[in-house]
Structure 1
Amino acid sequence: MRYAATGLTLLLWPLAAWAQPSFDCAKAESSAEEAVCASPALSEMDVEVSRLFALALNGPNITPDGQDELRAYQRGWVKGRDECWKADDLGTCVRDEYAIRIDELRREYADARAEDGPSMGPYAYVCDGMDAPLSATFVNAGDPVVVLRWLENVRVLPIAMSGSGSRYASDDMVFWIKGSDATWTQDGTDHACQEDDIG
């Protein structure tokens, strides 16, 4: 089950790893870090970013130059996350920054996908009426979300109530999965989607 990990999937993952974020909360330097320290859900996402970063950094497929580049991008990402103090909703901004970083690490570094954990994907979907594929990364650390990418767009949708399957929704977009099929509703238009075998 790659989406909305609940029950057995979460029980199999070591919950003790989610107790604290990857940094020392006594030395939190930004309102974003303070938000992470105050939220078990954000702490879990922080631990997952740290885990994926370590897998990518120490994996067999990265060069020394690649390691330097990854470290630089990670520092840049931390600076961007810390800019969330400017957002209307600090918690949502921080959550989205973590979700997008998880997606980036999984998309760009094969070694970050080398071990199972509380994030999965990205998976490719082919959707009716769309010229470009849709990419979905499922983040089950913290409160489950899906990161959707198409063309130059990226959106983070939180999990929502559903009678069947897994439904992720915001005010203007829904991604509803049932098995390998999905419905993606964007701008009031439903697109029937099928997971791509090569995704």
Structure 2
Amino acid sequence: MKRRKLEMLLEEVESFQEPDVILEQYSTPATVASDMLHFAYMKGDIEDKKIYDLGCGTGILSIGCKLLGAAEVTGFDSDERALNIARANAKKMDVDIDFIYSDIEEVSGHAQTIVMNPPFGAQKKGSDRPFIKKALSTGEIIYSIHNRGSYDFISKYIAPAIISDQYTAFFPIKRTFKFHKRDVERIEVEIYRIINEL
């Protein structure tokens, strides 16, 4: 599947109805999701793989993985309302995904590939760390989205795992909360591919 076709399909995914600012529930834009997942697909990390989506929200990354031929996809989130939307999205897109209600610390098992858009830590410093730790304990290859300028910290934090690839992208955030001043704020993010030897 071409990246543009994937993006068009992912634009149909419904977002949060009542996003929680503390959980930093910003929807992953279809542009960013399709870029990252198509990159992962071209690396051989999606098709026929078992995949975990940590902090899956309304399921855009999970759905994208399944559309690209993942063998098995499980999305984990601690917000039941978001999971209900994710389940409805998966049904609408006619993909079979297991969505599980779970705090990040409680996730267990093993996946060949992890995809995630963890909190950036804007509301609570360090809130991305439990996601990184869990990814390192459950996955072999990890794709993760972070604030631009995170490379040095992430590189040290994940050692001996390594960042094999990275690129920057614009992440448009629509006006979601009262403190947002613009209709759309475009922030720069870094997307990492991490190789982890469990």
TM-score band by shorter chain is under 0.3
TM-score by length of 1: 0.28
The structure having more radius of gyration, on CA atoms, is 1
* More helix by percentage: 1
TM-score by length of 2: 0.28
